[in-house]
Amino acid sequence: MSDFADLARRALRDSGYSMKAAARAMNYDAAYLSRVLNGKQNPSAKLAASVDELVGAGGALAATVLDDDKKSRVTRSAANPSRLDAGTVDALAGVLAAYRRLDDSVEPKSVIPATMTQVKEVTRILRGARGPYRDRLAEVVSEWVQFGGWMLAQVRKDDQAVGLLNDALELADEIGNGTLAAQALNFKGYIARQQNRPQGIARWFSAAANTPGAHPAQRIGDYLQAAAGMASLGERDAALRLVEDAEKLTDKAASLPPPDTAYWLTPAFNRLNMGLCTLELGRYSEATDHLRSGLAGLPEELRDAPWSWEHKDALRRAVEAA
């Protein structure tokens, strides 16, 4: 269920390593590495860690490999979804967490093929799942599908991304999970921004902010991004009201940990959202300050993530306009 072979092969290629060069760099037999990277042999934990270190994945690539117990549980549940157990759900959630971390260090195009395989498989398991762990699995599957949509959005496969995000939204609504629903709507707003459609930006981020059960940190970011959309439409007063709505939630959000489904939503990250908003409002000095502080406040492993490029470009534009 981890697709380590595909992920590792692509990560090595992106890092400029041939199979033979990688084997030499890690002091492994090239034939053994070839069998692993071609899916003919399972990787040892040691090899997975070595490849991870070589490509600079920060442990995320190695974390996609399941231990024997988890692998056995997932295999049994995949063969007979009606006998789903808690261990399988936890294992699938753990692999998803590793993929999310990979998104911060590996090019999206190199993670997408394995991600789509995972989405297809967990969705299949959910269709046959029964019993007390079915709703928990539905949460994990909604996150997997949502993550697939996000990955496709990053490479501008917008129609496919929206389709997956709609599926994720339906699953989130089915189980009444507001944080998952809000995040799916948020990603639809992101797509609208990449398409330069301010009405879509305002619509989807507003919908996310007003989703019942959304986390306060989500709502702050969504109000600010909706405000940016309204500002782009020339609706300055409406934009400022949305900024006020966001600011009212600051203390509440700061008192809570970020939601698991949007672990990156720290106060520093929401300064990036405030930066995008103030940029659209024409407050260029404020935008510069927010964007600089937000980027500086990101954990080191996130500072070069592909999704951060948008904010770096916004900072450049704010500085030029100030």
Judged against a pLDDT cut of 80, whether residue 306 lies above it is answered with yes
Residue matched to tokens 């997932």:
74
* Helices 267-280/309-321 angle, 10° precision: 50
How much is the average pLDDT of 82-99? Answer: 92
Place 162 in a pLDDT band, splitting at 50, 70 and 90: very high
**Percent with pLDDT over 90 in the chain:** 80
CATH number belonging to domain 177-322: 1.25.40
Instruction: Output the pTM of the full model.
Output: 0.91
Is residue 66's pLDDT more than 70? yes
pLDDT in tens, 169-183: 999 999 999 999 999
Tell me what the mean pLDDT of segment 278-303 comes to. 93
pLDDT of residue 1: 58
How far apart are the C-alpha atoms of 151 and 124, rounded to whole Å? Answer: 20
Q: How many CB atoms lie within 10 A of CB 299?
A: 12
Phi, psi at 254, each rounded to 5°? -65, -25
Q: Which two tokens stand for residue 74?
A: 């997932």
Rounded CA-CA distance 163/166 in Å is 5
The pLDDT of 291-307, averaged and rounded, is 88
pLDDT of residue 135: 93
Task: Write down the mean pLDDT value for the chain.
Answer: 93
Whether the predicted pLDDT of 197 surpasses 70: yes
Given a contact cutoff of 8 angstroms between Cβ atoms, the answer to whether 205 and 229 are in contact is yes
| Mean pLDDT, rounded, for 84-95 | 93
Residues 6+ positions from 133 with CB-CB distance below 8 Å: 84, 85, 86, 88, 89
φ and ψ at 120, to 5 degrees? -60, -45
pLDDT at 105: 82
How sure is the predictor about 2, in pLDDT bands with cuts at 50, 70 and 90? low
At 300, the pLDDT band (50, 70, 90 cuts) reads confident
User: Where do the domains of the chain lie?
Assistant: 177-322
pLDDT tier at 266 (50, 70, 90 boundaries)?
confident
Confidence of residue 140 (pLDDT cuts 50, 70, 90): very high
| Per-residue model confidence (pLDDT) at position 21 | 94
Highest-pLDDT range among 10-19, 197-206, 297-306: 197-206
